[in-house]
Structures are given as structure tokens and as C-alpha cells.
Amino acid sequence: MPAAIEVNGLVKEFKKGPRAVDGIDLRVEEGEIYGFLGPNGAGKSTTVHVLTTLIPPTSGEALVAGYDVAKQGAEVREQIGAALQEAALDPFLTGREHMRLQTALQGLPRAERTSRGDELIGRVGLSDAADRKVGGYSGGMKRRLDLALALVHRPRILFLDEPTTGLDPQSRTALWEEVEGLASGDGVTVFLTTQYLEEADALASRVGIIDDGRIVAEGTPATLKAEIGEPSVEAVPADPGDRERLAGVLARFGDDGDCPRSTPDAVAVRLARGDGGLADVVRALDSEGVAVQHLQVHAPSLDDVFLAKTGRSLEGQGAGAQEDGVPDEREAA
Amino acid sequence: MALQIGALARRSVNRTLRQPAQLVPSLVFPLILMAINSAGLGKATEIPGFPTDSYLTFALAIPFIQAGIFSVSNAGSDLARDIETGFLDRLALTPMTGLSLVSGQLAGVLVLGVIQGVIYLVVGLVAGADFEAGLAGVPVLLALALAISFAFGCIGIFAALRLGNGEAVQGLFPVLFVFLFLSSMALPRDLIEQDWFQTVATYNPVSYLIEGIRSLFIDGFDGQALALGFGFSLAIGLAFLAAASATLRTRLTRT
């Protein structure tokens, strides 16, 4: 069965900028939610812009719905919907007017335009606000309208570029439910970029982790976390002079060689017996008289995967930020 | 394509009419400047050869050109905002054609141009200006106002596509005012004493736009002035439309 999205050796290099996408390969199956996870500036949005035909690739091949994004742009656009970063809406138009514009530009038959628009506005819970100007919408309402507009022509594949950035938890959860419904109920393939670990974990059936334009890990969230292995324990001694003694005690319970959480202040080891060994760790520290200021067990997370692959933590790098913009090479020369 | 143009035109008109910050200055400022000019330069009508004894009648053409200059700003800023906010990308993902985008985008300023024309005419007549062309001249006047809005609107669209940001488009505003001041705005060309000024005014296309409008107020139907007014308006509009279309191919990069 052909993939919904198939990318081989995709490169995007901007004229006056960096190599934003540096030879990525990926395959997204029909009906799948694929999470594209990475920090700001990793190349997520650039990849989406290439896959949605908005910018041409420098080299490599990308097929979306079986069509080549570089040569069959119009065919690709017929098959896809996209809600790009920063819901691009006109603050002077109402939600319903946006829908009217979108249904007309997508060429829906006149008889279907109003009913389809009303159906989608209702689906994203904006019926009561449909006749209000979008300038007065909250961030969550704008994102939901953006999603509804992307669905007007019943696309097979949906690209969502950081759909929940800046949203409050309630709006984020509502949008997650909608996206899940699209994939499970309507069979839409979803390509979702995010910088939120929990979003990728909760929504995506498979995750690709991108850093510096390259995919550093790919698989289901469970597989990726299993690759990391057992939980780790991290401890900070109450007296900084006890760091070596603390390291000696913790070394009995696991190996610190594959646990990159250790810092000049903290010692961390991956527990050989899983988190069941924590009680033994506490007893050993107590019997050796090593007082600790902070002791924490970390279950493997996608952040651990990112940390293991790049040596950096993803958490805190992008929270609340507005992600990587796509350099504009379309400025008229 | 007609459906696309209609949908984009409707949006453009709605957006224009819902922005008082765009609408009010473009209606009020030209009238204020006209009032100041008429009050301060009234004595100019005593210069031998001045074509009318009412400076208000002579000056009533100026707001039409100023309205055009506002069109550059309005049409350009709206499109530049679409580029900056990513709305153009939203449109680019639909089957919309470039011609639909430009045509639809102009609709707002064209509608505004007609509204401005009606208001300037009514205010002028109420204030005591003559309108020699009479009732039959009203549709001609509005058609010429429309053509002028088209010309300047195309400049705005081109500037927005070329520059890509609203501030840069706004920066054209004073530049275009220089063209207005270096035209036959304040005096008929043959009464401008300074040779260099007369030469510049003669080569300045804005002079012919003003004189086309002015002819309807002072002379009635002057075929040559109207032909030059319509001709230059359409030539400017079409030239910048062609330039905008070429630039759009770069700006609206879709594979």
C-alpha cells in the first residue's frame, strides 16, 4: 500500500540561510498521526512548507498522496489541508466569512458551500461565535477555526504546524480530541509538528525527532522510550563535597555511562532493576550517611530519547516560544 | 475564476469598510487640504488666464488624486499584512490564481474610490463649486475616479508584493505626495512661472490625472483632457499590474 507521505533524502537550503532540512527520510502511512518533534529552529516548519508545496525542495524526493511535491504541486494541494503556524486569519472578517471565502476558493459547488461551512463551524464548536469578527477570538478559537478551514475540501492528509503552541491546557486538550477524531473517525492522515513532548506522546502513533535538520530518532513513542531502557535516578548531595561519595553509592545500583543527566551538581544513574530499586538506593544512602538535597526518579520520556540522541534536553527549549520561522526566500529579488 | 475573484473582492471590500483607520483619513484629509488650499490661494484666480473665478472649483480635483494616493497605502498595506501574517500562504494552498488575487485585492480600493468620488463631489457642490459637465458628467467623473484608484491601487499591490511589509508600503506615501506637489495641482501648467517646475509638471503623469478631473468641473467635456486622464490612469494601472503579476510569481511560490 502506498504511503500517505514518503520522503527520501529531502534537503532544503535557503539562499542566505542555513541548510534547514538536511537529508531527511520518512514514511507516514495512511490514517496515521505522525508527530514531528523538535526544538525551535530544528527544521519542522520548513519540512511542512516543502511538503505542502509552499516552498520547493533543494534536492531529494517527497511524495504526498503519491504526488511529487516538486512537480505536481496542484495535485498535492487537492489532497491536503494545512493549518500552519500562527493561525493566519483576517481579524476584520467573521468566522463564517472566512468559511465562505475558503469554500469559494476551494471551488465547492454553491449548494454545498453554506452547509459544509456550517457543519465544520459546528464541528469545532464555533457556532455561537461564527458571526463575530475573528479579531475578538481567543487563541484556541482561532486555532479551531484554522483547523476547520483546512478541512473544507475533505483532504486526505492534514498538516498541522504546532497547532497548540500558546494555547491554554483546556484548549489544547480540545484540539487534541478533534485531531484524534479526524484520524480515527475520518481516516485522515495527520502530520503534526510540535515542540511539546506530551503532545507527541499523547497523539502520535509514530514520532520522528528532528534536530538541526536531521531526523535523529523515529518510531512509536513506546519503542523509542524502551530503547532508552530503565528509569534513572538523579540525586543532588546536601553537601557538594559529598558528590564523589554519592556517586560511589549510586554506582552500586546502575551504570551512569548511558545516563546523560549527570551534571556538576547532580549524579544520575540508570537503575539496573527499574524503579523498584529506589527503596534500596534510599536505604544505602542512609546507611552510608550521605544526605541528599534532591532525589528524583525519571521514567524514560521522549525527552530522554532526545537527550540520548543529541546530548541536549528538549524540555524548556521551546515552551511558549513561537518556533522556527521559515526564512522567506520569496522576497522579490 | 469569476467565483474566486468575487470571493476575494467581497473580502477586500468588507475589510476596507471595517477599518475606520483606513476609511476616515482617506475621506477627511483630502477635504481638509482642499479647504486650506481654497482659502489660502483664492487670489490666484485673479492671475490673468486663470481658467475659473472659483479656486474651490479649480482645487476640487486635488482630493481625487489624494484619494488615489491613499489607495496605494490601503491596497498595499492590506496585501502586505496578508504576506506578513501568512494569510497569503493560506490562499496559496487553494486553487486560487494570481490574477484572482490581484483583481480581488483591488476591489476594496475601487469601491472606496467611488465612495470618495461621490463625497468629494457632493461636498464641493454644497460648498459652492461649479460642475460644468452637469448630470451627464457625474458617471464620467466617477469612472475617472475609479480609473485613478485602479492606477494607484496597482502601485500599492506591486509595492506590497515587492517589499513584503506594511511599513515599507506606507513609506511610499510621502514619495507619492511629491508627485502631487510637482504637478499642476496648484496652478494650471501654463501659469507656472518657473521653467523647471513647468517642465517637471508637464512630464509628471499626475498632472494629466488632475487635469482630466478638473476639466469636468471647469470646462464640461474636454475630450483631450479626459482622454489623457483615462489614458494615463489605465497606462499606470496596467504597467504596475504587469509588474505585480511578475512579482507575484516569485512571491506566490507554489510548486
Measure A108 CA to nearest chain B CA, in Å. 10
Interface touch B93/A77, C-beta < 8 Å: yes
Measure A201 CA to nearest chain B CA, in Å. 28
- Length of chain B equals 255
pLDDT higher than threshold 80 for residue A261: no
Find where cell 463631489 sits. Answer: B121
3-state SS class at B65: helix
Interface touch B87/A104, C-beta < 8 Å: no
Measure A25 CA to nearest chain B CA, in Å. 20
pLDDT higher than threshold 60 for residue A89: yes
Higher pLDDT, A244 or A305: A244
User: For residue A70, what is its C-alpha cell?
Assistant: 516538486
pTM score of the predicted model: 0.77
Interface touch B4/A53, C-beta < 8 Å: no
Q: Among partner residues A104, A149, A331, which is closest to B164 by beta-carbon distance?
A: A331
Interface touch A88/B87, C-beta < 8 Å: yes
Spatial distance between the Cα atoms of A153 and B223, rounded to a whole number of angstroms: 52
Higher pLDDT, B208 or A18: B208
pLDDT higher than threshold 60 for residue A329: no
Predicted confidence at residue A192, as pLDDT, reads 92
Query: Backbone phi, then psi, for A133, in 5-degree steps?
Result: -65, 140
CB-based contact A304:A228 (threshold 8 Å)? yes
Q: Which residue of B has its CA nearest to A134?
A: B15
Class level of CATH domain A230-299: alpha beta
Which segments of chain B have a pLDDT < 70? 252-255
Mean pLDDT of A7-18: 86
**HEC-encoded secondary structure of B139-184:** HHHHHHHHHHHHHHHHHHHHHHHHHCCHHHHHCHHHHHHHHHHCCC
Q: Which residue of B has its CA nearest to A332?
A: B162
Interface touch A93/B4, C-beta < 8 Å: no
Measure B122 CA to nearest chain A CA, in Å. 29
CB-based contact B96:B4 (threshold 8 Å)? yes
Interface touch A100/B7, C-beta < 8 Å: yes
Predicted confidence at residue A257, as pLDDT, reads 61
- Classify strands A267-271 and A232-237 as parallel, antiparallel or unpaired: antiparallel
Please report residues of B whose CB lies closer than 8 A to that of A76: 255
Residue spans of the domains in chain A: they are: 5-225, 230-299
Please report residues of B whose CB lies closer than 8 A to that of A97: 11, 14
Q: List, for residues B31-87, the tens digit of each pLDDT value.
A: 898 888 888 888 888 888 899 888 999 999 999 999 888 888 888 888 888 888 888
Q: List, for residues A314-327, the tens digit of each pLDDT value.
A: 665 544 334 455 65
**What are the residues of chain B with a beta carbon less than 8 Å away from any beta carbon of chain A?**
3-4, 6-8, 10-11, 14-15, 18-19, 85-87, 89-96, 161-162, 164, 247, 250-255
Interface touch B4/A104, C-beta < 8 Å: yes
Q: H/E element holding B137?
A: helix B134-163
Spatial distance between the Cα atoms of A98 and A94, rounded to a whole number of angstroms: 6
A133 secondary structure, DSSP code: B
Predicted confidence at residue A1, as pLDDT, reads 67
Angle at the Cα of A267 (from A263 to A272), degrees rounded to 5? 130
Indicate which of B90, B158, B161, B252 best probes the interface with A, i.e. most A CBs within 10 Å of its own CB: B90
ipTM for the predicted complex comes to 0.78
Q: List, for residues A185-236, the tens digit of each pLDDT value.
A: 888 999 999 888 888 888 899 999 888 899 988 888 888 877 766 777 888 9
CB-based contact A332:B251 (threshold 8 Å)? yes
Interface touch B162/A93, C-beta < 8 Å: no
Q: How far is CA A56 from CA A192, A208, A242, B247, in A?
A: 20, 22, 57, 17
**Cα Dmax for chain B:** 64
Q: Among partner residues A54, A78, A107, which is closest to B89 by beta-carbon distance?
A: A54
Q: Which residue of A has its CA nearest to B78?
A: A90
Residues 6+ apart with CB under 8 A from A41: A323, A324
Residue spans of the domains in chain B: they are: 2-251
Predicted confidence at residue A315, as pLDDT, reads 63
The DSSP-derived string for A180-244 is HHHHHHH--EEEEEES-HHHHHHH-SEEEEEETTEEEEEE-HHHHHHHH-S-EEEEEESSGGGHH
The mean pLDDT value of chain A amounts to 84
Percent of chain A with pLDDT over 90: 32
Class level of CATH domain A5-225: alpha beta
